[in-house]
Structure 1
Amino acid sequence: MTSSAAYLVPALAVGVPVGVYALFLGLVSIPYVQRFAVYAHKVNTLWWPPHNPNRPERWGFAKNQVTPFTLKTIDNQTLYAWHILPLGLYAKHEAALAAQDRSSSGGFVSDITSSLNFKLLRNDPEARLVLYFHGNAGHITQSIRPRSFHALTSVSSKIHILAIDYRGFGLSTGSPTEDGLILDARAAVDWATHVAGIPPERIVLLGHSLGTAVATVAAEFYSCGTTSTSGPYSDNGPRNTTNDATNTRDRSQKPLEFAGLILIAAFSSLPTMLSGYSIAGWLPVLRPLTYWPWLLRKVMSRIVDKWQSDQRLTALTKFAKSRGRKFNLTLIHARNDWDIPCHEDDKLFRGAVKGLVEAELGVGIDYGGSDGLEDETEEERERIKRAEERDVERAVETVLREEKGKRTAERWMGDGSKKEKERGFVTTWYDEGVTIRQELFPYGGHNNIMFYSPVPLAVMRAFGLVDEPESRLN
């Protein structure tokens, strides 16, 4: 008689992992648990005294080069922030800056407008400002963030940084949600434009990882007047007294044209990215469900924060082209990114080109206006829109197939063997006032790419501070 152990061991070997995975899926379907996992905002080093962000000198900054302060959002959350002076500008005013006494507040500045640092930003007509939106987990001084701040502020005496911790991160109040982080981005832009008085053409929106989604929605909100949240402007700037379901900004406010939107290690949308995501590059999250598409769709429908950057880029490029406005987009990714696959940039690039095609075809270019289908039945309107979408998709596929290769410069950065893993490229797409630039580098991973030369160069290029050959890859 065959021993029952012969069946028990294989059953346990299969059943236990399946049971654990099923429990994991059940837990992450709970919004609170899901957001805790996605944002990882409680994973930080604030419990360790040396990581007190009110002491920026511990991360290699000069005395009082950084001003720690707070912003208020329209829903009364308090965001912790850093204003970082460019190193060259700091050197010119070192004695006066270092003489500021911040000892009584432990380094924190309750009124940044009274500081010399702020005045050097506000009163300089040549000052540029990078609004820096970091990725998930940690806080403003964790991981590679201080090194990336150093990289950006050392290339020009004109480039300042405003970096924030989103709600629930670091010393900021609240808990993160998509709508909440959108309000956080608005608080940062409103502070930059209305308190610091920096015109949008001297502002770059820069995001890394999760921050790419936040930067993209900030660009969408201010550049073409559409958002996925509603409500008045931040307390740091003009207020819109209406709060309706249109999810649009105050139409009396002129759309802004930023110097650029720079996305490093970006993803197209959270559900799409998670469907192929692996923790540390080897432990799959939802990928096993691809064998059961119906189950994958079910699980993906439970993702509460969508972060659909590809659709937002479509809206941005469509609005810019149809209105004759400028829009400058740069996508930077490393091929060896183990966290967010580099092919996510292809989806974002496609989304941006799709907006140009829709504008060319006249698809939905009148935001908030008539779509010309008022006299049709609901069923007929849906049929017409589906047919229109199919036409757009075919047009996008055609234009990418015929044109992208012509606009791409390639280079292999290894031993000359031209292995695919060592291939980098730059694709530059111009269409009237819209520029879309995609850069792929073989190395840099998910984090280190942030302080490699491509990122500071992209910022300099957006600000018009460097004239770089289009084929440059290192």
Structure 2
Amino acid sequence: MAGPHPAFAIGIIACVFLALYLTFLVLGSIPFFQRHFLYAHKVHTLWWHKIDRPEYWGFAKNQVTPFSLTTCDGQTLYAWHVMPLPVYLKHERKLAAQNSGFCDDVTATENFKLLRDDPESRFIVYFHGNAGHIAQAIRPASYHALTNTSRYHVLAIDYRGFGRSTGTPTEKGLIIDAVTAVNWAVQTAGVPHSRIVVLGQSLGTAVATATAEYFAKEGTDFAGVVLVAGFSSLPTMLSHYAISGYVPIMAPFRLWPWLLHQVMRVIVDKWESANRLREITQIVKARNGRLRLHLVHAKNDWDIPCHEDDKLFAGAVQGLIGDGETMGDARLATEKLGRTINRGKDSFVTNWIDRDIVIRQELFPYGGHNDLMFFAPMLTAVMKSFEVADESEE
């Protein structure tokens, strides 16, 4: 007996995929499911990773202190304070002799005291991307890259709903979490904002940008804001998003722009980073403040395409133009070209300077979406924020 005709089988498969696609869209219109898709906070390895034992990821004994922070709305955030290895080595015997594991009172640790009592300490508040937990995937490797040979302390947190943190992620909630982390560094650890770099990757770039905006409105300047693999806004990014760079999720809707606009309207957490960067540069310039904004992206990033960085750059520059004025795409491209240093195929650095505001965009050929977090461009951006490196090109 002959089997089904190939065309019939293909039709069945196509119908199944269409049904799954439509189901995904319907569920995605419901805030509860939408946030689960966006944040993927339930996708983690806590079942077999003991995150209270950072030595598993290659850290020295008690180089990392796991502890918790409490937000203003009562959520408990799981956090790591990662000591710079050169500082750790100077005090290794005392640090290693402490009790290991989760710390109920981080302020009683030698690690905290070394941070608090060092007037030259440099501090990085690290905001990770979606999915997983504080020690999942490339995150420990990026902490190593930041602390192995420097004097930089790192504070990494799991947002609400992630890892062992309580609560459910929302845009407003994650901003509260980020502000809580910065306030801990300043108010508890005694590190001034001028010695803090706010660093974000992927989703973390949106969190870092919102954090920088919050403190800019408070009249506060950080040492730097570093955004690695960022996006201009969630609706804009999703409207052109393709899985692994090949499967465009919203391709059918782009045939009808009005319908695509309606679909994008149901996104509840919009993360408008380009608009926030425009607000930040406008505020900082108006009060003659200081800003070191670094945008870093890999050309071969198949998750968030590098042209999203151009939109972030444009948003930041627009804030410097002045009230009621805008810079068209053609003029911006011309002005940008004159401030750009080409470094070979798919590689450039652009510096836009206005008073004490430096907007620096770097495109790097390699690193993809994640590995860039322990490549030289990310580290260079942090170093320039702390003004460790030669800024002659600026």
TM-score interval for Structure 1 and Structure 2 normalised by the shorter chain? over 0.9
CA distance in 2, matches of 1:457, 1:10: 51
What runs of 5+ residues in structure 1 fail to find an aligned partner?
226-254, 364-387, 413-421
1:40 aligned partner: 40
Q: Secondary structure at the match of 2:132?
A: coil
Q: Secondary structure at the match of 2:41?
A: coil
Mapped pair 1:112 → 2:35: no
Deviations 1:176-219 (A, max 9, x none): 00011011011101101100111000000000000000001110
Q: Give, in angstroms, the shift of residue 283 of structure 1.
A: 2.6
CA distance in 2, matches of 1:115, 1:176: 30
- Report the AA paired with residue 64 of structure 2: V
**Equivalent of residue 306 in structure 1, options 254, 261, 270:** 270
Deviations 1:294-318 (A, max 9, x none): 2211110000100000000000000
Q: Secondary structure at the match of 2:388?
A: coil
Q: Give, in angstroms, the shift of residue 20 of structure 1.
A: 2.6
| Cα RMSD for the two superposed structures | 1.8
Q: Secondary structure at the match of 1:356?
A: helix
Mapped pair 1:459 → 2:382: yes
Task: Map 1:176-191; keep pairs closer than 5 Å.
Answer: 176-191=169-184
Q: Secondary structure at the match of 2:338?
A: helix
2:337 aligned partner: 405
- For structure 1, which segment, 9-18 or 163-172, has the greater mean C-alpha deviation from structure 2 after superposition? 9-18
**Equivalent of residue 122 in structure 1, options 91, 113, 116:** 116
Count of aligned pairs: 391
Q: Secondary structure at the match of 1:45?
A: coil
Deviations 1:110-157 (A, max 9, x none): 00000000011111000010000000001011000000000000232x
Q: Is the 1:67–1:112 Cα contact (8 Å) retained in structure 2? A: yes
Q: Give, in angstroms, the shift of residue 280 of structure 1.
A: 2.4
Task: Map 1:101-250; keep pairs closer than 5 Å.
Answer: 101-102=99-100, 107-156=101-150, 158-225=151-218
- For structure 1, which segment, 306-315 or 275-284, has the greater mean C-alpha deviation from structure 2 after superposition? 275-284
Deviations 1:25-45 (A, max 9, x none): 111111111100100001100
Q: Give, in angstroms, the shift of residue 288 of structure 1.
A: 2.6
Percent identity of the aligned residues? 57
CA distance in 2, matches of 1:455, 1:470: 17
- Report the AA paired with residue 207 of structure 1: G
1:95 aligned partner: 93
Q: Secondary structure at the match of 1:139?
A: coil
What runs of 5+ residues in structure 2 fail to find an aligned partner?
none
1:431 aligned partner: 354
Q: Secondary structure at the match of 1:42?
A: coil
Q: Give, in angstroms, the shift of residue 13 of structure 1.
A: 5.6
Q: Is the 1:320–1:433 Cα contact (8 Å) retained in structure 2? A: no
Q: Give, in angstroms, the shift of residue 292 of structure 1.
A: 1.6
Which structure: larger Rg? 1
- Report the AA paired with residue 224 of structure 2: G
CA distance in 2, matches of 1:68, 1:23: 40
Mapped pair 1:328 → 2:292: yes
Mapped pair 1:316 → 2:314: no
CA distance in 2, matches of 1:137, 1:20: 22
Q: Is the 1:155–1:456 Cα contact (8 Å) retained in structure 2? A: no
Q: Is the 1:136–1:210 Cα contact (8 Å) retained in structure 2? A: yes
